Structure 1
Amino acid sequence: MLKKFLQPIAAVPRGVGQIMLQGNVWTGLLFLIGIFYDSVTMGVGALLATAIGTGVAVLLKYPPEEIAQGLYGFSAALVGVALTFYFEAQPVIWVALVIGSALAAIFQHALIKRNIPGFTLPFIVITWVFLFLFRHLYMVPPSSEVTATLPVYQDFTVSTHGFGEVIFQGSMTAGLLFFLGVFVSSPISALYGMAASVVGAYISMQFAEPMDDVHMGLFSFNAVLCAITFAGNRKRDGLYVLVSVVLAVLIDVGMLMLDMTVLTFPFVLASWLTLLIKKIFDKK
């Protein structure tokens, strides 16, 4: 009876952990601590959105094992953080958060049902729609996070900022908590992610990208997600990590040249391309 009661509750932190592909309660809790450390508003947004996404999955009677793994919480969580990061937390933003979180869970289920590796695609599509709506059709002022003066970043913080920016967090503390969150679930994924963050920064510097942006981890967080996705014990896994990281950074740079809002789309597209390559070479 207690286990049945605790399962839906545990699905919420697992959903937050699944942002970096870790269905681990401790991972999710460390992520939440990191988000709340940087911003209480974003922390509330993440927690509320994950609970809504998970709750919608329960109400629509999606497979219990998928709900328990947190698969209906992570895109919703990212929608919640994104909206409270980009916009002033007005009532309309909280309404959008509720709607967006529910839609993210439904979208995620459609992908899972069709066996499509959608990763964070529901978050990307839904957030792009809201960004267009609140920037062009129903104007909402940007949040203080967007308009704040950026601190001076140092080279040695690039690795942690790569983890932090996955969930829109800019402090070294949040980034370190996110790294630890992945590490407690999968040490090899965390270490690959750390290396990918540095590689992503290095590649972006070859394109003369602004150093503040590089140090913030803006060219590293998609690389971190790719590294975590393809991390493994085989030598071949390291090659897939490298391929996906390079592709993600190149896509990131290209999108910025087109003045597009990047989000985690470079990670998704790079992962799809790498999965195709992996499918070809793993047969040999």
Structure 2
Amino acid sequence: MLFRQVGQIHFQRSALTGFAIVLALASVNLWAAVGALFASAVALATAYLARLPREARVDGLYGFNAALTGAGLLSFFAPGPLLFAYLALVSVASTFVSARWTAWGRLPPLTLQFVLAMWLALAIESAFGQRISPPGCEDSWTSVICNVGQVTFISGLRPGLVVLFAFAWHDKEEAFWLAAGAAVAWMASDALDLFAPGLAAGEQLVGLAVNAALIGQGLTVFGRRPGVRLAGILLSVPVCLALAAAGVKYFTLPFILVTWAMLLSSAPRVAAPPAAREAA
């Protein structure tokens, strides 16, 4: 269940996927992998002690935001006691928020708790000491694979391939649309840099690709038709650029907003499985 929570960052009820993410992350930033596992363990312990519903707990639905926050915080900040204390508090709070949200069930929580936790961390960053910059991806075809890994702060071609193969092992269609979202974002950023250089889309490549990739995968999980998936991917580009122009450090906020909008405005092609309806 510890690794399954990590896998649910990508909608996958799979300990193998979670293990692949942690392994790839450790090859890039060992502390980020430690942060993801620490947060996942705190969330899992919280769910057990609070006796939250077993099915959702086993599916890993209560801890994926905590795991992603752990990877994010240790990618932006050097490790320290205050940082891990903050991560523990966030992981406990996120578990209860996820439980309440899952019971509500109108819309999936996605990665909202992660975004809020990262915003708060940036607001009080002076308390955490040294700030570091997570590695990005080159602007080439390899960025498609690299940016698939960037969802969980993994950089590099080979680590990206590891996680992409793990996703494909679990579900080939999800893996295809995850990569398709990253590919569309890469092509869109290059086109915008050529025809509208003032938008500085290339500088937002990681943000564009991460959000487009998650939207492609998420709308697949929720059973939306390919046209809806593509529309969501394309819509994410102006949303990312608008938030960046407004000075918002958006993380996965465009993914959340666009996915919610597409879910509310479209009907599923087929019913999504119960775990997917509640997943990240």
Tell me which interval the TM-score lies in, with the shorter structure as reference length.
Answer: 0.7 to 0.9
The runs of at least 4 consecutive aligned structure 1 residues that moved more than 6 Å come to none
Query: Which residue in the other structure is 2:140 paired with?
Result: 155
Q: Distance in 2 between matches of 1:232 and 1:105?
A: 22
Q: Distance in 1 between matches of 2:237 and 2:48?
A: 37
Q: Per-residue deviation at 1:203?
A: 2.2
Count of matched residue positions in the alignment of Structure 1 and Structure 2: 263
Q: Per-residue deviation at 1:211?
A: 3.4
1:203 maps to which of 164, 180, 188: 188
Instruction: After TM superposition, list the pairs within 5 Å mapping 1:123-202 onto structure 2.
Output: 123-135=114-126, 138=127, 140-143=129-132, 145-146=133-134, 153-202=138-187
Q: Per-residue deviation at 1:212?
A: 5.7
Q: Is the 8 A contact 1:244 1:271 kept in 2?
A: yes
- Label 1:271 to 1:154 Cα distance change in 2 as closer, same or farther (>3 A): closer
Q: Distance in 1 between matches of 2:7 and 2:218?
A: 13
Report whether the alignment pairs 1:273 with 2:261.
yes
Q: Distance in 2 between matches of 1:230 and 1:260?
A: 24
Q: Distance in 1 between matches of 2:155 and 2:166?
A: 16
Q: Per-residue deviation at 1:129?
A: 1.3
Question: In structure 2, the residue corresponding to 1:101 is in which secondary structure?
Answer: helix
Q: Is the 8 A contact 2:164 2:175 kept in 1?
A: yes
Q: Distance in 2 between matches of 1:61 and 1:181?
A: 31
TM-score, normalization by structure 1: 0.86
Q: Per-residue deviation at 1:124?
A: 1.2
TM-score, normalization by structure 2: 0.87
Q: Is the 8 A contact 1:204 1:253 kept in 2?
A: no
Query: Which residue in the other structure is 2:233 paired with?
Result: 245
Q: Is the 8 A contact 1:87 1:140 kept in 2?
A: yes
- The amino acid of 2:53's aligned partner reads P
Identical aligned residues as a percent = 24
Query: Which residue in the other structure is 1:62 paired with?
Result: 52
Q: Is the 8 A contact 1:16 1:73 kept in 2?
A: yes
Report whether the alignment pairs 1:97 with 2:82.
no
- The amino acid of 1:156's aligned partner reads W
Question: In structure 1, the residue corresponding to 2:151 is in which secondary structure?
Answer: helix
Q: Distance in 2 between matches of 1:212 and 1:190?
A: 25
Mark the runs of 5 or more structure 1 residues left unpaired by the alignment: 1-10
Question: In structure 2, the residue corresponding to 1:72 is in which secondary structure?
Answer: coil
Q: Distance in 2 between matches of 1:177 and 1:105?
A: 28
- The amino acid of 1:200's aligned partner reads A
- The amino acid of 2:119's aligned partner reads W
Q: Distance in 2 between matches of 1:273 and 1:90?
A: 38
Q: Per-residue deviation at 1:134?
A: 1.6
Q: CA RMSD in A?
A: 2.2
Q: Per-residue deviation at 1:233?
A: 11
Q: Is the 8 A contact 1:56 1:105 kept in 2?
A: yes
Q: Distance in 2 between matches of 1:173 and 1:154?
A: 16
Q: Distance in 2 between matches of 1:62 and 1:233?
A: 24
- The amino acid of 2:43's aligned partner reads G
Question: In structure 2, the residue corresponding to 1:262 is in which secondary structure?
Answer: coil
Q: Distance in 2 between matches of 1:213 and 1:256?
A: 8
- The amino acid of 1:167's aligned partner reads T
1:122 maps to which of 113, 116, 119: 113
Q: Distance in 1 between matches of 2:51 and 2:257?
A: 30
Q: Distance in 1 between matches of 2:65 and 2:128?
A: 24
- Label 1:90 to 1:160 Cα distance change in 2 as closer, same or farther (>3 A): same
Question: In structure 1, the residue corresponding to 2:225 is in which secondary structure?
Answer: helix
